[in-house]
């Protein structure tokens, strides 16, 4: 089964934004509606699944014409370790396809077709794909010491600094059986799929949601869609 499926994990609980996945966004009634529309528009997934124990998520899945994967309610709490959640969700996905985690909390990223193409064309050299943001900044440790650059006359331009890559939680792809074996959503040799700062917005706090909405409006004015 060499096709790729999308899994959209959703839960009701959120300690930072109440009902985060069901907050309105753009012209859609919820972030989940918005993400389902993005994933469907990509046209690169054999199936689209919403994984949740939420009755509201089930209703939205049915409304939007995607499949619902019931999740153990315990796996929708903050109790289990993340490796347990990964294995539990993967166990509900039929067959052994490549599985892309397409997260609701990354509403600006929508280039799924390009990411899937990059993943499939690099299989063998890499075992998975992870979305990242390139970081080339003047970083200091907690003692005020510079990382990857020097103070004084050795001070470089930012483009001369060794880049680091921040995982942005927008997309992860790997084969289902590999994710179960690793007990994680990507492997030891991931392809780093680089995104820009707008695509990398991750909605965790109320100000992140406001920032994502501002980014969506900005892109719309530029004739681009999130």
Predicted confidence at residue 223, as pLDDT, reads 87
Q: 52 in a domain, yes or no?
A: yes
pLDDT in tens, 103-135: 999 999 999 999 999 999 999 999 999 999 999
Q: 35 in a domain, yes or no?
A: yes
pTM score:
0.94
Q: 51 in a domain, yes or no?
A: yes
Give every CB contact of residue 198 below 8 A, 6+ residues apart in sequence: 108, 215, 218, 219, 226
State how many domains the chain has.
1
Angle, helices 31-42 vs 112-121, to 10°: value is 50
Predicted confidence at residue 193, as pLDDT, reads 98
Is residue 154 over pLDDT 90?
no
Q: 107 in a domain, yes or no?
A: yes
Q: 155 in a domain, yes or no?
A: no
Predicted confidence at residue 19, as pLDDT, reads 83
Give backbone dihedrals phi and psi of 35, rounded to 5 degrees, phi first. -70, -40
Range of the domain at 100: 4-132+168-221
| Higher-confidence position of 2 and 5 | 5
In this prediction, residues 21-46 reach a mean pLDDT of 96
CATH of the domain at 67: 3.90.550.10
Q: 149 in a domain, yes or no?
A: no
Q: 181 in a domain, yes or no?
A: yes
The two tokens of residue 142 are 């907690």
In the beta sheet, which residues pair with residue 110?
Answer: none
Q: 69 in a domain, yes or no?
A: yes
């Amino acid at each position: 089964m060499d096709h790729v499926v999308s899994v959209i994990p959703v839960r009701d609980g959120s300690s930072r934004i109440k009902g985060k996945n069901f907050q309105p966004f753009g012209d859609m009634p919820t972030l989940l509606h918005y993400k389902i529309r993005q994933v469907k528009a990509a046209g690169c997934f054999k199936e689209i699944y919403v994984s949740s124990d939420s009755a509201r998520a089930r209703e939205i899945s049915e409304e939007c014409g995607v499949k619902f994967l019931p999740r153990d309610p315990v796996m929708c709490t903050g109790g289990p370790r993340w490796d347990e959640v990964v294995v539990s969700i993967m166990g509900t996905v039929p067959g052994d396809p490549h599985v892309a985690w397409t997260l609701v909390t990354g509403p600006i990223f929508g280039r799924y077709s390009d990411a899937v193409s990059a993943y499939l064309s690099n299989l063998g050299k890499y075992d998975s794909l992870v979305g990242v943001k390139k970081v080339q900044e003047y970083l200091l440790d907690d003692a005020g010491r510079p990382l990857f650059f020097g103070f004084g006359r050795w001070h470089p331009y930012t483009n001369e600094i060794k880049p680091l890559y921040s995982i942005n939680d927008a997309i992860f792809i790997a084969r289902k059986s590999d994710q179960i074996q690793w007990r994680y959503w990507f492997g030891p040799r991931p392809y780093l799929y680089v995104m820009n700062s707008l695509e990398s917005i991750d909605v965790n706090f109320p100000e992140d949601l406001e920032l994502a909405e501002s980014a969506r409006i900005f892109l719309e004015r530029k004739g681009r869609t999130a």
